[in-house]
Structure formats: C-alpha cells, structure tokens
Amino acid sequence: MIQRKSVTKNRSLPKSPTGIAGLDEITGGGLPKGRPTLVCGSAGCGKSMLGVEFLVRGALQYNEPGVLMTFEELPEDVVTNARSLGFDLDKLVAQKKLFLDYVRVERNEIQETGEYDLEGIFVRLNYAIESTGAKRVVLDTIESLFTGLTNAAILRAELRRLINWLKEKGVTAIITGEQGDGTLTRNGLEEYVSDCVIVLDHRVIDQVSTRRLRVVKYRGSTHGTNEFPFLINENGFSVLPISSLGLAHDVSNERISTGVKRLDGMLGGSGYYRGSSVLVSGTAGTGKSSLASYFVNAASKRGERSLYFAFEESPQQIIRNMRSIGLNLEPSVKKGLLRFQASRPTLYGLETHLAVMHKEVKEFKPDIVVIDPISNLINTGSPTEVRSMLLRLVDFLKSQQITALFTSLSSPDMKSLEQTDVGISSIMDTWLLLRDIELGGERNRGLYVLKSRGMAHSNQIREFLLTDQGIDIRDVYVGPEGVLTGSMRLAQEARERAQTTARQMEIEAMQRRLERKRVAMEAQIAALKAEFQGEEMEIARELNQETQLVNQLQMDEVAMARSRKADKLIARRNGNNGIEVV
C-alpha cells in the first residue's frame, strides 16, 4: 500500500510556480515544469509582460535564473517597459539572474531557399542557459522566426524540434504568439506541440475594455477553464480567479454596530453579523450613503479598517457632505483606517472592476467594504452580467470574513421598491429599505428592515431623519389616518400633547374638588365631635349633681331616724351609696 501511494505521488505533474497573483491558483500550482507553455493573443493584450514577470518572479522568489530572447523589442526597450511595472531588469542582469538577448529578424532579408533551421537560435539559447544556469526561458514572439516562410511542413518540423530541444534542456519555457484569424496563432500550429496553452484577450465592448485570460489546455493537470479578468498595473500582472467559490465559507456569531444606535436596536440590539452582506436600497436622496458612512465611522472607532468603493462621488465630496450631518471622516482617512477608491463605472469593464476590488482588498486587508452604489455598474454590462460579477464579489468577501455593505438606487417608477435593478437581494443577509413618504405636501424618509437572516428584527417603519447632529431614527405615528411623518406627525403629536394636557388639567380639577369636599367633611366631623363632647360634659355634670342630691337625701333620712331614736338602726352603704335601715 505504501508503494502504491509512492507511485501515485511520483505520477503527479511537477509544476513551476509563476509567482503571478491568481495565475498559480488557476493552473493548480503553476506552469508545467520543464515543459513549454504557449501564451497567445492579439497585440497589446499583455503577452510580453506576462513572460517578463514570469522570469522576474522566478529569479526573485524561487531563485531560478531566466533567459529572455526577444525577436521584436530591443533589450533597452524591454528594460524600460518592465520598469513601469516596478521591475529592475538591469539589476537582475548584473546579478546573473537574467539574460537578455535580441535576435534581429528582418522580413526583407529572409529568402526561403534550401533547408531552413533554427540551429543558430539553439546555439545562442544554449549559451544563455549555460552562462546563467537558467531554469526559465521566454521566447517573444514565435511568429518573427518564420516571417516569410510558406512551407507548413518546414514550420511544423522546426517548431517540434524547438519544443523538444527546450524539453531536453529541462527549462520551463513560455513561447508567445500572435493570435490568428480563427486560430490561436497565425500559423495555427503551436497549440499542437505545447503542453499548456494560455490565451490572453483584450476586448472592447461599448467603448469599455476588459482583459481576460483563459487556460485552453493543460496536459496532465486539471485547471480553471473559465475566463478570468486580469490587470496590468504598477505592481505587475495579476489574475482574479472568479469561478464559484462554493458555500463552504466560515460564519461568525459576532455582531458589529451599524453606527446608529436605534438601527442597532431594530436589528436585535446588536447590529449586523460580522462577515455578512448588507444591502441598503432606496430612491435618490434617501440617505443610503449616509448610512454607509456611519457604518465605516463606527468601524474606525473600533480600530478596524474600511475600504470604500465610490462610483458617484469623489472622496473629498463624500467627506464634505458627511460633515453636514455631524460626521467627520477625515481623521479616519489620515489614520489609515479608511481608504476611498473612487472611479466612474465606465472606467473599466465589469471584470476589471472585480479584479481591481480583489487587488485592493488583498493589499489593504479591510474589515469593512462598502460599494456605493452597485446600481451604477449596470451601465457597464447587462443585469445578468452585473449580478454574476456581484455574486463573485460577495462570495470572495465572505470567504475573507469581510462585512460588506452595498447601496443600490431604486427607480421611482419600479412596480415595487422591494426589488433592485440588478436583482441581488436574494444573496444578501440583511436588507434595509429607505423610502420617501409623501404626506401633507412634503416628502419625508422612512426606514424599515426588509430582512435580516439569523436574528430577530423590527418589522416597524421608522422615520429616518438627517440632521446637523447626525442620523435620528424616530417612531412614526400610526393612527386612523395611517402612517404620519414630518410636519403631520409633529402636528398630530402637538394635538395629542394638548389633549393630554387638557385631560391632566381635568384630573387635577377633580382632585381639587375632592380635596375641598374632604376638608369640608372633616370640618363637619370636627364640629359634630366638638358638639358631642360639649353635650357629653353637660350630661355628666348633671348626672353628678343628681347623684350628689340622692346621696344627700339619704343622709338626711338617716339623720332624721337617729333624731327620733329608732329601736335599732343599722346604717350601711350599698353599692349605690344609699343607706339601709334594719
């Protein structure tokens, strides 16, 4: 079993990494090692630049010296052109890591007589490879060698001999060729003798150009078969793999603030999920960019980075406009926590926009990305193309755990505001809808959460206010007349306050009347009590007098009996102080 595993491992195709961003991912690790690769395309599509960067990256990153043999450009021209990409070829030549050679081929000097071969080229190539220990070779371009030749048999034989010779030398080679009419190259032969064929395309649609790359074939290896956009800029050649990234990205339970406290409350009290995709749609002037700006400002307060792609306003215009609602974004820009990338949508094609965004995200490594607005991209492609591009962007950002906020302009004449021009609402995790509410001769803004996956959220429409103190979200008035906002809400609130005040005054008057009655009752009770106490004292006095009179009469009777010398007198007191005679 161990032996079987070893055999499987040995059968895997060795590859030479290009070091070009994205290309190694598409090709599954690089170009076939020790084999030739054909790079073909029309003029100006970037064939030579790809070859130069392949050599430079090999020398700098993988310690593999290279040879560039050009049949069209002089070495000094190649050095100057490469310098625009940040590559110093002169330094590499001085370090024996790069060999530049120019073979002059003039059409008017070529006459097809007798045998024609490339023996002289083999000698020069062999010297260059041996003198530098080269592992990589670029031949630019192959058609120049066969200018004026019409014998297809000779062409095929010499090409096959060249390919076999390069394989025998064990170098990884790139051969560039001009695209033909209906064929990959002018002669239509190179693709049959190359192990890997890459086609570069520079197309212009509706006056917008886009560069694309496609791996047509790759013997012995799987590879990406789609068309991939690529860029050539000051940092070199970069390819964006835009095939489906699947749905295997990680998710987070962490919540981050929207920057507006009451909006956080509408989203379960904690804001958006980190790494989620948020859509803010609405008609013009409803405050979409303002919500986006408050979101990136909250991220800056947390010390997080934000990348803001603006397709309508310049960075300075956005900063100025946000000051009018109490928000200053300039400190965040100066601290390096906020970066603006502003351009018109028609500057690039859709795929190039996607490649630029991919590049900026890779370089800046943001926590938050804002695209404002995505609806403008529809000017550079059809709704289906825009949706496809945005789907790839959403997948890419989710794979990086980046929270993305997209704004979208809704057309006032749309049948329903609960849809977008590019139809991407279904792939969004949270959707906020801003709308105009026209009542009483004025227009006011309303906000509600259309959906927010994975959390309980408010289902109420709130009034959305932009003031010089910032964003204010207030409860709307809902009554018999419907939803009231703005002046009508203020008038209704004033009426309700007046009614509340009147009811309060009536309650206070009733309380005062009750208090007066209580005081009067207590006064009556006090008077009756005083009268009762007076009568009680008078009756007690009279009872006391009557008791004393009875006692006196009894005493008088006893005294009278004594004076008459009764036979036997027994005088004693009873319980009533009376005198009993026995």
Omega of the bond leading into 141 within 30 degrees of 0 (cis):
yes
Check 25, 72, 227, 330 and give the catalytic one.
Answer: 72
**Cα–Cα distances in angstroms (integers) from residue 278 to residues 262, 272, 362, 453, in the given order:** 17, 8, 21, 10
Cα 112 to Cα 28: distance, rounded to the nearest angstrom: 42
Beta-strand pair 368-372/403-409? parallel
Tell me if residue 72 is catalytic. yes
CA atoms within 13 A on the CB side of 303: 0
| Number of CB atoms found within 10 A of residue 140's CB | 22
**Cα–Cα distances in angstroms (integers) from residue 157 to residues 137, 183, 190, in the given order:** 21, 19, 11
For residue 322, the 8-state DSSP code is H
Helix (H, G, I), strand (E, B) or coil at 46: coil
141: exposed, middle or buried (Cβ count in 10 Å: 0-12, 13-18, 19+)? buried
Q: Is the dihedral of CA 475, 481, 486, 490 positive or negative?
A: negative
Q: Which helix (H) or strand (E) holds 320?
A: helix 315-323
List the beta strands (DSSP E) in 249-402. 255-256, 272-273, 277-282, 306-310, 338-342, 368-372
Check 191, 227, 304, 312 and give the catalytic one.
Answer: 312
Tell me if residue 312 is catalytic. yes
Q: Which helix (H) or strand (E) holds 91?
A: helix 89-94
- 577 in Cβ contact with 551 (< 8 Å): yes
Largest Cα span, the chain: 199
Catalytic residue ranges: 72, 312
